[in-house]
Amino acid sequence: MALHLNLLHEIESAKRARQRDPLKLGIYGIVFIVLCFLGFYFLRLGTTGTILNEKKTLENEWAALEPRQTAAIARAEELRAEIALSSNAISFIESRFYWAPLLEQIGHLVPPSIQISRISGDLQSARGCTISLEGIAAGVEPRTVAEKLRTTLATELLAGEGKVDSSFVSLEDGANQALVGGQTLPTSIFTIRLSVRLSETPPAP
């Protein structure tokens, strides 16, 4: 058997020892970890950069919108005030109480045997008023004539467009007699108070 001698034994041992140098292996490991960390850092840097760009876009948009918004708020206030004023003026006009139709109806409902001597009307609200009618009723039974007027006013005045309450403030026998249709009849003096309340829908102007 031939003798096998490895004359490079010492050199190879030294080489192996160098290859297993823990510092060198550690440095390789650290470099690898650092590279991973750097990769992750750049990934995060890219994401953050995107967010910052988006933020800058929003800031630019806000910088452009903010003065317009401030101006728009002031203008909106101005316009709202104008619209409200116009609407309130129309509401005032449309919700007025119209006296003429009421007086016309009263004129039609008073029979020839009654003479109205005084009318007083007071506006209570946009939809209501009180009216006081003073007059003389003539008839065989003058109080009945006055009562008939009171009930007629209560039921027929406004004719479904509101509510009328009527009551006597006074009803007395008259001292004088009246000539109605060629007949001399006894009289009564009355004061009727009407409380008029229109329905909520305003009349057409």
Partner 1 sequence: MKLSKDNIQKIALSTLMLLFILYGYFSFLLDPLAQKGAIARKEMADLRPKLLAAKKQLNETNALEEQAPASQATLETIFNDIPNGSPIAWFPPMMTDFFKNQGINSRSIRLTREADAGATLPKFRRLSWVIELSEVQYSQFGQALAALENKMPLIQIEQIQMMPSTSNVETQNVNMTLSNLVKK
User: From the CB of 141, what's the least distance to partner 1, in Å?
Assistant: 25
Question: Tell me, what amino acid is at 54?
Answer: E
Determine if 13 is a binding residue for partner 1 (CB under 8 A): no
Instruction: Please identify which residue in 88, 170, 177, 199 interacts with partner 1, judged by CB under 8 A.
Output: 88
Q: Residue written as tokens 């467009």?
A: 161
Amino acid at 53: N
Helical residues (DSSP H) of the chain, grouped into ranges: 9-19, 22-94, 99-109, 142-156
Determine, following the binding rule CB under 8 A, whether residue 170 of this chain makes contact with partner 1.
no
Looking at 11, 12, 13, 33, which residue binds partner 1 (CB under 8 A)? 33
SS3 of residue 175 by DSSP? strand
Residue 14 binding partner 1, by CB under 8 A: no
Q: Which of residues 99-118 bind partner 1 (CB under 8 A)?
A: 99-101, 103-104, 107, 117-118
3-class SS of residue 129: strand
Cα–Cα distance, 156 to 199 (Å, whole number): 15
Report the nearest approach of partner 1 to the CB of residue 30 (Å): 5
Q: Which is nearer to partner 1, 4 or 118 (CB)?
A: 118
